[in-house]
Amino acid sequence: MTTDVQTVLEAGSTVADRYVVEALLGRGGTAAVYRARDQVLGRAVALKVFAPGTTAPHGARERAEVDLLASFHHPSLVTLFDVCTDADHGGERPVLVMELVEGPHLGERIAQGPLARVDVARMAGDLAEALHAVHEAGVVHRDIKPGNVLLGPSLLPTHEFRARLADFGIAYLVDSTRLTAEGILVGTPAYLSPEQARGEEPSPAGDVYSLGLVLLESLTRERAFDGPLLEALAARLSSDPHVPGHVGYGWKSLLAAMTARDPADRPTPLDVVVRARALEAEDEAGATGAVAAGEASATGPVPVVATSSALPTGAVERSTQDLPADPPPAAATVPGPRGDHQHRSRARSWVALLVAVPVLAVGAVLWQGRTTDAPSTPELPAVEAPLDDHLSDLMTSVTP
């Protein structure tokens, strides 16, 4: 039987006389992860079993480093419980005992499509907080990649997941030379920083760079530096990753800063937290506004109260009922002397005045109907007798 990482531990087998294997969760080129049960504490754990030839920490310094990593307690960190050795299944292999997080890793989620910007912003803030905490303790992750970001259930129903960073400091722990098995580069080539690609010592700024690449891939579903190993490593030494404009100006600015080739130009994890929280708030506000607009449109058009200058029908009917009938046409007259002509002119003026009074009254009624909310009965001028009688009498008196 071969003794490499591809050798699957059978369910029911025991590791380090304490952990009973239950199922294989996943495996890669250097390690396999199992679900197991701690027989001493009676809890479910995750076992990361490395390939043979990888040196496990045995000395006092290495054990102190394990204790340091195990002391980290952060909502966005997968807790490391212990480091031990499996010598019962074909050779000595280092085994990391970690907190079990139920859920997929980020790489599996990205395969389904780009994540929403608000989810990526929340994840960026959570993971940057975790980076800040461990960097303050002098620990560098060295291998940030989607496979090391576990998406556990969130306590908030409005959040899709809670991102947890796993394998903290593992590359640092598994060998004192930081390059454990021959030919294995510490870190994943697609997410290494330029200084790591040049073989320089990993630093906190390198973690920020790698996190920037992970966030960019989460938004676009595309790796910034993909392809063969040497090409992927060389590309970041001469070019910056492409950040498409559709992610928005805020994201474009943040990701460009996080993936700057010069480590001195990159923000600190705490800076990333502040900017990511601002992006999260901005995206949440935009989503809330879109939902509110959708609800408003779903209820139908808002009724508009029409304002019209037209007189209400009832008022028109009431006012026309009180109007006098049209006067009959006046009889033809024979021209007379100048005095008679002046007399007739004065008479015609009186006739025009009598005709104008009702017209003005009707106009007043119409104007009142335009300017009042409720129509009222118009007050017409009092007339002692029908208008046609007055006109007839007046015409008789002025006829020679």
**Could you tell me which residues are annotated as the binding site for ATP?**
48
H or E segment to which residue 249 belongs: helix 249-258
Tokens representing 11 are 């369910």
What amino acid occupies position 111?
A
Residue in this structure with the two tokens 């490395």, named with its chain if needed: 50
In angstroms, the Cα distances linking 83 to 94, 96, 210 are: 7, 5, 25
Query: What is d(CA 398, CA 375) in angstroms, rounded to the nearest whole number?
Result: 42
The span from the CA of 82 to the CA of 62, in Å, is 12
What is d(CA 217, CA 251) in angstroms, rounded to the nearest whole number?
12
Q: Residues annotated as binding site?
A: 48
Is the distance from CB of 39 to CB of 51 less than 8 angstroms?
no
SS3 of residue 20 by DSSP: strand
Q: Given the residues 126, 143, 175, 283, select the one marked as catalytic.
A: 143
Distance CA 159, CA 145 (A): 22
Amino acid symbol at 258 = M
Taking CB atoms within 8 Å and a gap of at least 24, the contacts of 69-74 are 69/139, 69/168, 69/169, 69/173, 72/133, 72/134, 72/137, 72/168, 74/129, 74/130, 74/133
- Those residues whose C-beta lies under 8 Å from the C-beta of residue 196, and which sit 6 or more positions away, are 142, 186, 187, 202, 206
CB of 62 closer than 8 Å to CB of 76? no
Side chain identity, residue 203: S
Identify whether 143 is a catalytic site residue: yes
Q: Cα–Cα–Cα angle for 141, 143, 148, nearest 5°?
A: 100
Q: Name the residues annotated as catalytic.
A: 143
